[in-house]
Structure 1
Amino acid sequence: MQKLTQRFANLSAFGMFLILAMGALVTKTEAGRGCGDDWPLCNGKLIPAYTISSFIEYSHRLVVGIVTLILVVTFYLVFRYVKRADAKWFISGTVLMTLIQAGMGAMAVIWPQSSLVLALHFGLSLLAFAFALLLSLVFTPLGQYQQDRKIRTGFKVLVWITAIYSYVVVYLGAFVRHTVSSGGCSGWPLCNGEVIPELSGATGIVFTHRVAALLLFFCILFLYLQAKRQYQASDRLVAGSKWSLILVLMQVLSGAVVTWSMGNDVAYLFTGMIHAIIIACLFGFLCYLCVLTLYDRKGQSHPG
């Protein structure tokens, strides 16, 4: 049953990644109202009339439904056949975040919600994906957390602060999308030709996100330098920090490309999706580093 459980864990992680990407697509194409005020039906029908917006929104709902069924099976298999407590926490977190997100999605369709609330949808999808990713890693060598050295308290705190702060940056990015503020800053790295523009309206929102993203880059750079200084090159903490640094650099550059692609709808949509996918991978690596800090000098057997 371990192989079957592993397959469903992998399907869950892939499914949550797909939900996250499709949710970003719904936001980017402004297809959230593609099914009107109806839920779970779409414009009063089980299979709606074809329009691009209804197709995108209804496809997203359909994928959420299928992945939820996969999660139910995964939840049963993990609690029935896996002895590791962390695996049970991971699948429970995935299911909880998915249910909350689905409930909020339904409420957003039926009742209008503010951009502050709508921005939480991507954050919840990100948490669900991170939990599912950690669950899938349980069944790989990366998920066997034997540690033969002490992790310094300061480094643990740095890892957790960086991960939490990255979530804040993600929320700001989602807020930019839901307030349709992307055009607030034309050009990159300058904003409307200025180092510090007028901080009001859409310009203030986008500029705040840019500054937060830049600070995140320096946080992860500092994290990597500390990991490299304190631990051996082969240590997972060093490898995870290095990949986090690579991904945050890619994230900053992809943000620049998103700005440069404004005016070309296809390029803007494509680069925006890439931007969302990179941040998902980055957050996944940071969550993995957080888990590593919880297994300081603790052995963990392979899942049964």
Structure 2
Amino acid sequence: MQKWIQRLANLSAIGMFLILAMGALVTKADAGRGCGDEWPLCHGKFIPAHTISSFIEYSHRLVVGIVTMILVATFYLVFRYVKRRDAKFFITATVVMTLIQAAMGALAVVWPQSSLVLALHFGLSLLAFAFSLLLALVFTPWGQFVRTTQIHTSFKVIVWFTAIYSYIVVYLGAFVRHTVSSGGCSGWPLCNGEVIPELSGATGIVFTHRIAALLLFVCILFLYLQARRYYQPTDKLWFGSKWALILVSLQVISGAVVTWSLGNEVAYLFTGMIHAIIVACMFGFLCYLCVLTLYDRKA
């Protein structure tokens, strides 16, 4: 039974990853209204018309439905056969976040929502993925969170601050997409050929996100340097910090590529999805570090 639970946990994490990536595609392709203002039907049908936008939107809905059923099965088995409280918390949080984002997605179709609310939809998907990833890790050697050495209090503060701040940066990125502001800054690293452009409209939104992303890179770099200072290369804290730094570096690069691909629709969609995927992986590592700090050995 343990192997089945592990397989379902892995499928849940993979499924949440697909939902997040497909959600980013829906936004980038402006396919959110691909099924009109109907839910769960698509233009009054269970099988929609063969248009690109309806196919993208309906595929996203279908994957959400399948993953939700997998989550329900995983939820039952974890509470029935797994004794670890953290596993029960992770699956519960995943199910709750998935249901909330599904409800928000349905409401966004039936009743138009503001960009502020729509951006939160991606944030909830990110949290659902992070919790599902942590659940999958529970059944691996990386899920043995209990430590034999104490974690410095200052390092704990840095980890949690960075994780929370990264969520804010991700939200700003989602807000850029939902307000269709990506073209506010042409060129990278300069914005419209200026170091500090006129901070209004789409330009102000994009430039704010760029500055926030730069500060996030600095935070994770500092986190990694502190991990190297206090812990050995074999320590999970050192490993997680290293990969968070690698991924935030790739995030910055992919953000630049997204800007450079403006004007090429196919390249813009592809690079936008890659950017969202890298962000999800980075946030997952930061959440993993947060969980490690909760299992600190007491002095």
Q: Which residue number in structure 2 is paired with residue 141 of structure 1?
A: 141
Gaps of 5+ in 2: none
Between the aligned partners of 1:230 and 1:162, the Cα distance in structure 2 is 18
SS of the equivalent of 1:285 reads helix
Q: CA deviation at 1:146?
A: 2.8
Q: CA separation in 1, counterparts of 2:143 and 2:297? A: 15
Identity of paired residues, percent?
83
Structure 2 partner of 1:227: 227
Residue of structure 2 equivalent to 1:196? 196
Q: Residue 232 of structure 2: SS of its match in structure 1? A: coil
Other-structure match for 1:55: 55
Matching residue of 1:73: 73
> Which residue matches 2:241?
241
Q: Aligned partner of 1:204: which letter? A: G
Question: What code does the residue aligned with 2:43 have?
Answer: N
Distance 2:74 2:50 in 1: 33
Q: Deviations over 1:34-69 (max 9, x none)?
A: 000100000111111111100000000000000000
Aligned to 1:301: none
Per-residue CA deviation, residues 176-202 of structure 1 (Å, 9 max, x unaligned), is 000000000000000000000000000
Q: Does the residue aligned with 2:53 lie in a helix, a strand or coil?
A: helix
- Equivalences for residues 101-180 of structure 1 within 5 A: 101-180=101-180
Structure 1 segments unaligned to the other structure (5+ residues): 299-304
- TM-score (structure 2 length as normaliser): 0.99
Partner of 2:252: 252
CA distance in 2 between counterparts of 1:66 and 1:118 reads 22
2:235 maps to a residue whose letter is D
- 1:231: how far off? 1.1
Aligned to 1:31: 31
Q: Distance in 1 between matches of 2:290 and 2:26?
A: 30
Q: How many angstroms apart in 2 are the aligned matches of 1:49 and 1:270? A: 24
User: How far apart, CA to CA, are the structure 1 residues paired with 2:232 and 2:34?
Assistant: 52
Residue 100 of structure 2: aligned partner: 100
Give the alignment of 1:263-278 within 5 angstroms: 263-278=263-278
How big is each residue's C-alpha offset from its partner over 1:225-253, in whole Å with a ceiling of 9 and x where there is no partner? Answer: 00100111211101100000000000000
Separation in 2, partners of 1:195, 1:211: 11
Query: How far does residue 151 in structure 1 lie from its aligned partner after superposition?
Result: 0.5
Q: State the secondary structure of the residue aligned to 1:262.
A: coil
Preserved CA contact (<8 Å) 2:146 2:292 = no
Report the Cα distance in structure 2 between the residues aligned to 1:145 and 1:45, rounded to whole angstroms: 48
How many residues get paired?
A: 298
Task: Write the letter of the residue equivalent to 1:154.
Answer: S
Displacement after TM superposition at 1:125 (Å):
0.3
